[in-house]
Each structure stands twice: as C-alpha cells, then as structure tokens.
Chain A
Amino acid sequence: MKDPNSCPAVFTPKSIAFLDNLMNRQLKQAAMNFSRIFKKRFSLPLVLTNGFRQLKMKRLNLYLPKYSLPSALADGLLTLKCSALFLLFSLTFFVLNPTHAADLKVCKTCDYKTVTSAVNAAKPHDRILVQKGYYTESNIQIKKPVQLIGVGKPVIDAKNKGGIFQVETRHVVIKGFELQNVEVSYMRDYSAIKVYEGAHVTITDNHIKNAFFGIYLQRTDSCTVSRNIVEGEARTETTSGNAIHLWYSDFIKISDNKTSGHRDGIYLEFAKRCTIKDNLSFGNIRYGLHFMFSDGNVYTHNTFRNNGAGVAVMYTRDIVMKHNTFEHNWGPAAYGLLLKDISRSTISNNRFIKNTAGIYMEGSTYLHIEKNTFQGNGWALRVLSSCSEDTFRLNNFMSNTFDVSTNANSASNYFSHNYWDKYEGYDLNKDKIGDVPYRPVSLFSLVVERVPSSIMFLRSFIVDLMDRMEKVIPSFTPEMLKDDSPVLRQYAYDHA
C-alpha cells in the first residue's frame, strides 16, 4: 500500500493498523505540501468542492458497497477511523495529484525500450514520454496514476493479440498515441483503451485504427474522452465492437471525437449525467449513437452521418439533445433519430437532413421537439400510436417526401407554429399564421403504410389527384392530427 491513491483491496485489521501509521506520516507530508501547492495551483473553493464531491461520489457511494467489510468494522471506532482515512485519502490525493515525480522516456535507444517496461518501472504520478516510433505491445496494465504521453504520435500495434491499454486506477492520462490492430474476440471485449473501475482518466488526442473496441469505459466516472479519432474496419455487426463504449459510467465528458467504421460510434448503457459534445460519428455499420438506460445526459453539437441505422436511443428519460445534426441515414431500418420509450426530454435546434425517417418515435412521451429543421427526409416524423403528450413546435419542415406519418388517430400529440413548406393555405388577417390548419398526414402516406411498394407512384398524377381530393374532403387521414397555426415563413435557425 505504498500508493495512497490506489484503493485498498480489503480492510483487514492488519491493513487498518498499517494505514494508521501511513496516515500519520502522510498528514505531515500533506501539511507541508499543502500550503506550497495550494497557493500555486488551486483556489480554495475548487479544492473543497472537488474534494467533497470526490468523497461523496467515489469513495462512499461507489466503492464502499463493493468491499466485504470485516466484522471488526462493526466497531464504531473502527468505522470512524475508516471514514477519517477516506477523508484523508481524498485530501492527500488532491494535494499530491498535480505533481509528478519523474519523466520516463521510451524509445529504441532510451532506458526503456517498451511502454510496458516503463509503466512497470514508473512510480505514481510519473510521466511516461513515449517517443515517436513503432512499438509492438499489447495488454499494458496501468494500475497506478501515471501520465502516458505520446511524443510525435508513437504507434503501438497490438498485432491482433488482445487489447492495448488497460487502466484500473484513477488519474491516468493517455494522450497522443496511435493505437492499432486490437484483437477481435467473441468472448472478451478487447479494446485499444479500456478503463475498468477508474476515475478521472483523461484520454485525448489518440488515433485508434482497426480496433475491436476503441475506448471502453466500464464502471468509471468523471473521465474525459476528447479529440480522439477512432476508425474501425468493421464489416459485420458480430465481428465489431463500438468506437466509444460506456457501461455503468457517470459524469463522463465525451467531446470532439471522430468515430467511424465500428458497430456503434458512441454507445452508452447505464451511463448517467454525461456530456456528449461536438463529436462526429459517421459510417458506422449500426448506430452513430446508441444509448439506453442512460438518464440525464446532454448531447449537443454532434453530427451523426451516414450510419447503417442512424441513431437509436431507448428506455431513457431526462435527456437533452440540442444543436445536433442527423444526416444521410438511409435504409429500411435507418433513422435520423429513433426514440423508443424516451420520456421527459428536450430535442431542440437539431437538423435532420436527408434521412429515410427524420425522427421515428415509439412509446415516447412528454417530449418537447422544438426549433428543429427537417429537410429532405423521406418521412420527417413517424409517430406511432404509442406516443402521447409530445409537443412539436416551431420546427421547419422542408422538402420532405412525407411530413408526418402515423398509425394513430389520437389527438394526444400537439403540433403548433411549425413551418410546413407544403402548406397551401392563406393568411387573410396578415398575422403570418395560416388561417386554415395544416394536415401533415397525406392520404398517400397511409397507402404507402399499407402497401409499401406503392411508394413508386409518388408524385404521379393519380397520387396528386388523390391527395388533393383528400385535402378537400378528409375522410381517411387522422382528423385531429393537424397544426392549427402553421406559420407562413420559414424560421431562420442557427443550428450550429
């Protein structure tokens, strides 16, 4: 237990005694270091809030339940000691973290020829500088807080034997590497970078090529994944993993990454309170973004383009999706955005361009879909009968083959103040709102719903006649599904 930042495996009475000693020693050290570093680097509130959050979230909530506490812990004193120990740990951690003891260089002519040897030799908080070069290594275990920095984009090639970095601790930085050829396995999730039960791990500026999984975070929190490029060569769903994969990971920040050629570009399962921002996910064989059971996440300014099945999100509530672009997702089962059992969420200021279905909604309730632009989609919206209490306001609908299709005739979703380019009404009172309602569901869309191959008669004379007659005397299309206040002028939204 030399490293105060690595978590003790089991609290035995012996180890508690040992830690007691350590505590005294470290208290002195901490007192000495504290004033020095504190003045230099931190402002007091930041340290305190961070420390508090650290304490609350990581130690007590996450780690404690997992340890098998010995019966001795039933003793109140011991419990107190243990709590004090944790408090101390967090304090020392914050004090010590910014420092690093030494720089270890890795290159052909350096002391360390391989990354593995440098990692093994490193002390906590050391910095390992991997020089430009080609390293054939795999399964590098990182169990102490070190910074791995690639200088001049060194290449680490796993040669299809296992993964590359496996991080099992906190405060690790992996930056500036080119990682390639991670083994494809049906049994294990080999990854270019895998973080297991770590926290505050920073993964930036890496270029990952031909990996099974790219960046895999399992039971982690407060990690940062940014500016990485993850390019796969996936051919089938079963032989490929996800570019960025989160499982039971909270407070993760994923930004400015480019993911392509994997099964899913960004995958989240049981990942809460994460921020996904400014990423580009394209050409993945399944989904550009895929999440479920991941409440409270915020997705902004991402682009999801030309993925096999677009974006699919399920079984989640309280999400915010703003300023994203969903484009060119084509296919019988491809969606700009598929929402299944999503509730109480906001989807606004997004662009849905040239998708087979802009938004496909199933079992989704209490959604605010506002200020989006739907352009050139096959179906801008497909709203299934299981959706209710959803509001569609202030959106632009332009050049879509069909604006809305549905299998329901319920009035439980609300359309108002949208711009529909197909609207042919008038505005006699000049309030810039059409005087007659717009019915976005056309008769032909119902025909296509029943006989899919009749889509080929789109824009034929007979279909035009049919739709026009239906507009004059509505008899098949849902009566209540209408926008009573269609605006006449397109909204000028700055989606970027």
Chain B
Amino acid sequence: MNKIIKYVLYDILRSRTIIGYTAFLFLMSFGLFNLESDPTKAVLSLLNVVLLIVPLISIIFGTIHFYNSTEFIELLVSQPINRRKIFLSEYLGVALSLAMAFVVGVGVPAMLFNPGPTSIYLVTSGVFLSFIFTSLAFLASVLTRDKAKGIGIALMLWFYFSLLYDGIVMFILFYFADYPLDNATLLLLSLNPIDLGRVLVLLNIDVSALMGYTGALYKSFFGNWVGIALAFGLMVIWVMVPLFFAQRKFVKKDL
C-alpha cells in the first residue's frame, strides 16, 4: 500500500495544480503577514481563506484527480492488488498532498510570523479540512461515472457546507430564539466540518467572547480540553464516514 501511495503522491506532487495551489497559499499567507501589522489579524484573514479555499480546492481537485486516474486505477485493479488498498492509497495520496500543500503554503508562514497555539489550531483545522473534503470528493466521484456530474456534486457539497448550511442553521436559531438552543447549536455545528474547523480556531482567538455564554455544557466545552478533543474527534469522524461509504461503493464498482 505504501508503494502505491508513494507513486500516487509522486504523480500529484509533480502536477502543476498542486504546485500552483501551494504557491498561491504561500504567497497569500506571506502577503497577509507582511501587509498586516498585527499578526493576529493576519491569522483571522487566513482563517477565512482556510474555511473557504481549502474545502473548495480539496473537493474540486480530489474529484478531478479521481476521474483523471480512472485508467491508472484500472491498471492497478488488473494487478494483484486489493481494491480497498488501491482506493485508500489514492485517497491518502490526494489528501496527503493537499494537506502538505496547505502546511507548506499556510502552516510555514503562520508558524514563522505568528508562532503559537492559534496558528497550530489554524493549521490543524486546515489539514483536517483537506482530508475531509478529499473524502467527500471521492464520495462524489464514485457516485457517478460522469466527470461533469461528479464535479457538479462536489461543488454543491462545497456550497452547502460553506454557506448554505450556516445560513439555514442561523435562520433556525433566529426563528426559535425563545427556546434554549445551546445543546442544539453544538449538535448542529458538529454536522458541518467547516464549522468544526472554525470553532477550533475560535476556541483560541475568541475565547473571551465564547466564555460569555451561560450553560454548563458550553462552559465545559470551551473551558478545557474536552471541547478540543470533541471537535477533533468529530473531524476524524467526518473524514471516516464519507470515505467509508465511498470505499464500499468503489469496491463494488465496475470499471
């Protein structure tokens, strides 16, 4: 399996897309840190990028890559290799290279200009989001043979998670403002990986404001490691679940 990952990785890392992505992230981070006198503000701007661009690129690149590797996958499938291994290798290859691009493009400047827990959480969230949206990309790809359709599904997923979902939930919260919604909010947040990534960073930069909320669950959530552990746990689930379904579908799929 490691061998296959190695070749998938090598293939992706050589492609211009991922290099361009890395360069884009790096230039943007570098620029933000140089333009902003306050590194915390730069991190905040970066957060917006991380929450929008990283899922978008991950899901689109993942989907396109999967369709482009159909022949390569066929080649591997005709070899004495387990399909599950092929699938996971492809996944890890794509996810790792996206995550690496992110770490180089955002992580390195962030740790250089603003070392500290906030940057660490930002980078961790970004890495998780890369993995999660690659996972969703692979799910979108195995759902249909049609490349255009697959990319369409991927884009819709991105739009849903990055904008639509929050809008709907905000609307619900506003509509039911008279009811206690603390626990419901936490639950609804955990149903969107982008929100989870955002909350992880918020726990660092806006803890002063977050601590302003009543409710024992909130307090314990923000007050200690429970919240962070929980958020990370949910992110892991967000990687695993789509990947599991995608893999199940892939193993039965006709190539």
Contact = CB atoms under 8 A, between A and B. Distances in A.
Nearest to A332: B214
Contact of A462 (B163, B184, B201, B205): B163
A378 B208 CA distance: 5
B75 interface: no
Contacts of B210: 378, 455-456
A80 interface: no
Contact of B174 (A357, A378, A402, A447): A447
- The winner among B40, B44, B173 for most chain A CB atoms within 10 A is B173
A421 B38 contact: yes
Given A453-B182, A456-B195, A458-B202, A464 B173 contact: no
A379 B212 contact: yes
Nearest to B209: A378
A450 B162 contact: no
Interface stretch (B59-67, B79-87, B108-116, B164-172): B164-172
A457 B213 contact: no
Interface in A301-356: 330-332, 334, 354-356
B52 interface: yes
Interface residues of B, number: 39
Nearest to A331: B211
Interface in B206-223: 206-214
Contacts of B248: none
B47 A330 contact: no
B189 interface: yes
Contacts of A53: none
A45 interface: no
B106 to A, nearest CB: 16
A451 interface: yes
Contacts of B47: 459
Nearest to B189: A456
Contacts of B167: 462
Interface in B108-128: none
Q: Chain B interface mostly helix, strand, loop or mixed?
A: helix
B185 interface: yes
Nearest to B222: A330
B209 A399 contact: no
A356 B44 contact: no
Nearest to B221: A456
B180 to A, nearest CB: 9
B147 interface: no
Given A354-B208, A401-B209, A462-B163, A451 B174 contact: yes
Contacts of B68: none
Contact of B207 (A330, A450, A452): A330
A454 B208 contact: no
A402 B206 CA distance: 10
A355 B181 contact: no
A460 interface: yes
A475 B165 CA distance: 25
Contact of A461 (B44, B51, B169, B208): B51
A150 interface: no
A377 interface: yes
A457 B212 contact: no
Contacts of B162: 461
A376 interface: yes
B48 interface: yes
A356 B211 contact: yes
A208 interface: no
Contacts of B182: 453
B199 interface: yes
B28 to A, nearest CB: 17
Given A354-B208, A399-B41, A456 B199 contact: yes
Contact of B38 (A398, A401, A461): A398
B35 interface: no
Nearest to A357: B212
A456 B48 contact: no
A459 B51 CA distance: 10
Contacts of A458: 198, 202, 206, 209
A464 B201 CA distance: 16
Interface string A433-458: 00000000000000100111111111
A309 to B, nearest CB: 12
A331 B207 CA distance: 10
B166 A460 contact: yes
B74 to A, nearest CB: 39
Nearest to A422: B41
Contacts of A357: 212
A458 B44 CA distance: 11
Given A460-B51, A461-B48, A461-B163, A455 B173 contact: no
Given A378-B209, A399-B41, A451-B173, A456 B185 contact: yes
A459 B208 contact: no
B177 interface: yes
A409 to B, nearest CB: 20
Contacts of B198: 458-460
A379 B140 CA distance: 42
Interface in A374-412: 376-379, 398-399, 401-402
A14 B202 CA distance: 77
27 contacts: A330-B211, A332-B213, A334-B212, A354-B207, A356-B208, A376-B208, A378-B208, A378-B209, A378-B210, A399-B38, A399-B41, A447-B170, A450-B174, A451-B177, A453-B181, A455-B213, A456-B210, A457-B170, A457-B195, A459-B44, A459-B48, A459-B198, A459-B202, A459-B206, A462-B166, A462-B170, A463-B166
Those 9 A-B pairs whose CB atoms lie nearest each other, nearest first: A378-B209, A401-B209, A330-B211, A378-B208, A453-B185, A356-B212, A332-B214, A462-B166, A451-B177
Given A402-B209, A454-B170, A456-B185, 20 more contacts: A330-B211, A332-B211, A332-B213, A355-B208, A376-B208, A379-B209, A401-B208, A447-B170, A447-B174, A450-B174, A454-B185, A455-B209, A456-B186, A456-B199, A457-B166, A459-B51, A461-B52, A461-B163, A462-B166, A463-B166
